[in-house]
Amino acid sequence: MAHLEAAADAVMPSTARTTKRRLIINADDFGRSTEINTAVIRAHAEGVLTSASLMVNEDGFEEAVAMARKHPTLGVGLHLTLCCGRAALPPARVPGLVDAQQRFTNCPVTAGAKYFFRPSLRDQLKAEIDAQFDRFRATELPCDHINGHLHFHLHPTILPFVLNNAACAGVRTIRLTSDPFRLNARIAGGRWAFRLLHVVIFKFLASRSQKLFRQSGIRHTQRVFGLLQDSRVDEKFILRLLPQLPSGDSELYSHPSLTQFKHELDALLSPKVKSLIAESGIELVRYQDL
């Protein structure tokens, strides 16, 4: 166990270490629905949320863009979707990726294996990724960052396409998903099999991706919290995390909603959370501030 814990925390940052503590608080799935869009804007305007990741193919996309334009202090990035969602391109253009309803598979394992072991799909993947970047670009919103739904942006087949689009768009900030296991284990319990599996998977992906980030001049936070919570970023978790937040740059991501994950919205609106951030001297930032 000690060896696994050490390995899980071994990903080093691309930025210099500092004693200052800066925290990005991000909402994934912006643009998926009105319930999520409304929660994101409330969490930013009334709470501690600093950024959100936009799904450009979902039903709430246009509404989210309109809301973001009214809140320019919200950092909005691209939430690239290649699993559990809808494609930008029609089935005729990407028949190996989607069904007749233009939807990707809902099984991440199936999607990940298919994208890795079927080289014939790479042209379709490139076309779909390009199309999602084009949709974001058409909003004329500044792109604060890039990440992926279920972190598929770090998939070995997909990451080169992401980096190429990022370079073309002039975006230099991408999420490097690496949730410190030892710290997480101190402040949250349960679901150990799930958490250990994700530690192993993302230790490998983050280590590999970091080298490519460095070569491409990509900036990222030193750690990302939220992965091992799996939509359980509630007030209790955040209040335990903040006093132990390491120095340097961190991201905490969540999925605020008026319905399914209202507990995550409540946490981001919590007066206790807001007060503890201020008392702890933690600076809330966006990816563009790194």
Amino acid letter at 13? P
Q: Which pLDDT does position 85 carry in this prediction? A: 97
In 140-188, which residue ranges form alpha helices assigned H by DSSP? 159-169, 181-187
Which pair of structure tokens corresponds to residue 162?
């992401």
115 sits in which H/E element: helix 108-117
pLDDT bin (cut points 50, 70, 90) of residue 248 is very high
Least confident range from 126-140, 191-205, 245-259: namely 191-205
- For the cut 70, the answer to whether the pLDDT of residue 9 exceeds it is no
Q: Which pLDDT does position 19 carry in this prediction? A: 72
Q: Which pLDDT does position 177 carry in this prediction? A: 97
Pair 129, 57: CB distance under 8 Å? no
Q: Which pLDDT does position 7 carry in this prediction? A: 39
Q: What pTM did the predictor assign? A: 0.92
Superfamily covering domain 2-289: Glycoside hydrolase/deacetylase (3.20.20.370)
| Chain mean pLDDT for the chain | 94
- For the cut 60, the answer to whether the pLDDT of residue 98 exceeds it is yes
**HSE of 81, CA atoms in CB hemisphere, 13 A:** 28
- For the segment 256-274, the average pLDDT, to the nearest whole number, is 97
pLDDT bin (cut points 50, 70, 90) of residue 8 is very low
Q: Which pLDDT does position 18 carry in this prediction? A: 55
CB atoms within 10 A of CB 136: 24
Domain spans of the chain? 2-289
- 146 phi/psi in degrees, rounded to 5: -130, 140
- For the cut 70, the answer to whether the pLDDT of residue 49 exceeds it is yes
Q: Which pLDDT does position 231 carry in this prediction? A: 86
- For the cut 70, the answer to whether the pLDDT of residue 15 exceeds it is no
Which pair of structure tokens corresponds to residue 137?
């670009």
pLDDT bin (cut points 50, 70, 90) of residue 230 is confident
Q: Which pLDDT does position 47 carry in this prediction? A: 98
